[in-house]
Amino acid sequence: MIRVVLIDDEAIILEGLKKVVDWSGFGCEVVATAQNAAAGAAAIRRCQPHIVITDIKMPDQDGLTMLAGLKSEFPALEITVLTGYRDFDYAQEAIRLGVTRLLLKPSKMDEINEAMRVMTENLRASGAAQEDAEEDDKPAGSFLVRKALQFMEAHYAEKLTLQDVADHCYVSQWHLSKLLNRHAQKSFYDLLNETRIKQAQRLLSDPKLKIGDIGERVGYCDPGHFARTFKKLTGMSAYEYRNGKR
């Protein structure tokens, strides 16, 4: 039986899909529904579906990042998007990330059936797609790494963890760590420290700022940790850097 997860913030649409589609006729079973991206990602990890039908314009979510996360972590997953978002570039990016079908709301029954037919045929043709695809070579993987680095650039001063960034990208910690190592050849904490020290170097050009305050401003609560990391990455102390030895 092909497992299906439905994601949409409108309960009426979820109920409608569950009732109007002939799931058993396609050899499918709806194993979970969710009304936001985070709950949807959790349901997907819990139920390991073969097919996901989802909206990508829900509150408090980045739809493209969610799609990239799903296709990168679960490359065999067949995805159909139902959306009222009528933007050609957005649609093209969704397709590039690996979406099988993108249907505009309100979707016609024959469009939904056609999407189901294509997705189930794809699954059967690939033997349920059990191969471990090299997701880091796919557009979804590189898209996710860019999103992760952008998020780190925006939040480096906070108490940022790998889990925080993984949640932003709708993937597991393990998967994001693997992507960062493959694309950037560095760990999450190496990348975060590099980002923080670059910002510290910029702030050191302002003589009014104390070195200890700068460390705290870029995310280091412990002055000793800041001092050790700065010297490790630049080859000199923050004091030496400020005084022109760079």
pLDDT, tens digit (0-9, with 9 covering 90-100), for 61-117: 777 888 888 888 898 999 999 887 676 777 778 888 889 998 888 888 999 999 999
User: Which of 103, 135, 167 marks a domain boundary?
Assistant: 135
| Residue 101 lies in domain | 2-135
18 shares its domain with 91: yes
102 shares its domain with 201: no
The amino acid that residue 3 corresponds to is: R
DSSP H stretches of helix in the chain? 11-20, 37-47, 63-73, 88-96, 109-125, 139-155, 162-169, 173-184, 188-203, 211-217, 223-234, 238-240
User: Residue 243 pLDDT > 60, yes or no?
Assistant: yes
114 shares its domain with 228: no
Q: Please give the tally of structural domains in the chain.
A: 2
pLDDT, tens digit (0-9, with 9 covering 90-100), for 185-238: 999 999 999 999 999 999 999 999 999 999 999 999 999 999 999 999 999 999
DSSP character at residue 100: S
131 shares its domain with 197: no
User: Residue 246 pLDDT > 60, yes or no?
Assistant: no
DSSP character at residue 25: G
**What whole-number distance in Å separates Cα of residue 59 and Cα of residue 196?**
31
pLDDT, tens digit (0-9, with 9 covering 90-100), for 161-186: 999 999 998 888 999 999 999 888 99
User: Residue 133 pLDDT > 70, yes or no?
Assistant: no
User: Which of 74, 109, 135 marks a domain boundary?
Assistant: 135
User: Which of 116, 135, 154 marks a domain boundary?
Assistant: 135
Listed in sequence order, the residues at least 6 apart from 17 whose beta carbon sits closer than 8 Å to its beta carbon are 6, 8, 30, 53, 112
